[in-house]
Amino acid sequence: MATHKLLLLAGDGIGPEIMAEMKRVLAWMEKAGVASFAIEEDLVGGSAYDAHGVAITDAAMDRAKAADAVFLAAVGGPKWAAVPYEVRPEAGLLRLRKDLGLFANLRPAICYPALADASSLKRDVVEGLDILIVRELTGGVYFGEPKTITDLGNGQKRAIDTQLYETYEIDRIARVAFELARTRRNLVTSSEKHNVMRSGVLWKEVVTQVHDADYADVKLEHNLADSLAMQLVRWPKQFDVIVTDNLFGDILSDIAAMLTGSLGMLPSASLGEADANGKRSAMYEPVHGSAPDIAGKGIANPIAMIGSLAMAMRYSFNQGDVADRIEKAISGVLDAGKRTADIKTEGCDVISTKAMGDALIAQLEAQG
Ligand code: IPM
Ligand code: MG
């Protein structure tokens, strides 16, 4: 059995607590003979800043590059609100994305039937929801230059962020979306703001070209980002794969997360270009943040973290059957009425982070 090389970056806030539960699932998988792992751990975000004065060290970056998959739990928190911008916790996450070339961010939003009542939307709107947001992750306003604040000397300052996309960046993310749509319901909705942004005009043009040239069998729709935000809360089941840029993808994926009941449920995969052997650099992380308000209390939901492990089994290690088993364990636990506080519903057992880990492992055991 191939040994998968993992780098675990627990980060800040609830990060270490949810990563601890994922590690228990890794240990279970080893014991059950399902997979074999070589595990390294390092610091990222505020914890790296406290130890080394940077959001991630060069040594940790080297380990990330050498790994088959990186797992990042969460970064940031009020403790680091005043640290210099270049070394703020989020800079570690952004460096990982950029330097590993992780341009394709897959954010599935699946509403487990047992959780339909945990959503702020009506049950019939969200029950059975299964959509996939494909977010461009290494371009756009997150990385475009110039990115500055200039003192104009008259009591005024000028802040500039640059939204920038080139053809190849749009082309490759569109291909990821079309390929994935073919494995699902064969519909791609592309989203931008071509009515006010030049980058939106190019985005729409390139996505259409890629579609017409190579993916005419997939249905393509275009939806302005503001309208898409509205449609996501009106009737989200009309969508299958949504492809959009870095900033709109950030916003739309938080909306999509809430449809599923809790941000604590959503895993994500960030993938790079495949090399000659078909191997991609990859990082897996929950969509949620470090939740400093509940950190250290043992009540965080580890499901998004463990769901990210399922995504790794599917996208990095070609073990879709194991991914299915983990996802089945997640729905089994929910069906059994076990909930962390963020997804509690009427009449359910509210359990701790660790008890949720126990329950997931018990479900995996029970599957045999
Ligand atoms: C996300 C997060 C990050 C982002 C932050 C932590 C920089 O919100 O992964 O969605 O904006 O991309
Ligand atoms: Mg976000």
Out of 212, 217, 226, 293, the active site residue is 226
CA distances from 368 to 28, 133, 176, 319, 329 (A): 12, 33, 34, 17, 11
pLDDT of residue 264: 84
pLDDT at 164: 98
pLDDT at 114: 86
Instruction: Record the pTM.
Output: 0.95
Distance from C-alpha of 295 to C-alpha of 60, rounded to nearest angstrom = 24
> From the alpha carbon of 75, which atom of ligand 1 is closest?
6
CATH of region 1-103+272-368:
3.40.718.10
Candidate from 250, 290, 308 with most ligand 1 atoms within 8 A of CB, to mutate: 250
Q: Is 193 a catalytic residue?
A: yes
Active site residue 254: yes
Q: Are 340 and 304 in contact (CB under 8 A)?
A: no
* Predicted local confidence at residue 3, as pLDDT: 95
Report the nearest atom of ligand 1 relative to the CA of 250.
10
Q: What is the Å distance from ligand 1's center to 217 Cα?
A: 33
In angstroms, rounded to a whole number, what is the distance separating the alpha carbons of residues 36 and 358?
21
Q: Are domains 1-103+272-368 and 112-263 of this chain identical in fold?
A: yes
Each residue of 224-283: pLDDT tens digit?
999 999 999 999 999 999 999 999 999 999 899 889 888 889 999 999 998 888 889 999
| CA angle (2, 358, 363) in 5-degree steps | 70
The domain ranges of the chain are 1-103+272-368, 112-263
Average pLDDT, the chain: 96
Residue 257 has what pLDDT? 87
**pLDDT of 214-224, one tens digit each?**
999 999 999 99
Active-site pick, 49, 112, 142, 215: 142
Pocket around ligand 1 at a 6 A CB cut-off: 90, 93, 250, 287, 289
**Strand partners for 37:** 4
Q: CB of 167 within 8 A of CB of 202?
A: yes
Note the pLDDT of residue 275.
87
Spatial separation of the C-alpha atoms in residues 86 and 277, rounded to whole Å: 35
What is the structure's pLDDT at 6? 98
Which of 12, 80, 90 has the most ligand 1 atoms within 8 A of CB, as the residue to mutate?
A: 90
pLDDT < 70 positions in the chain = 368
For residue 346, the model assigns a pLDDT of 84
What phi and psi values does residue 344 have, to the nearest 5 degrees? -65, 140
* Closest atom of ligand 1 to CA, residue 289: 6
d(CA 270, CA 155): 42
Assess contact for 103 and 136: CB atoms under 8 A.
yes
Q: How far, in Å, from the CA of 78 to the mean position of ligand 1?
A: 16
Q: Identify the CATH number of the domain defined by range 112-263.
A: 3.40.718.10
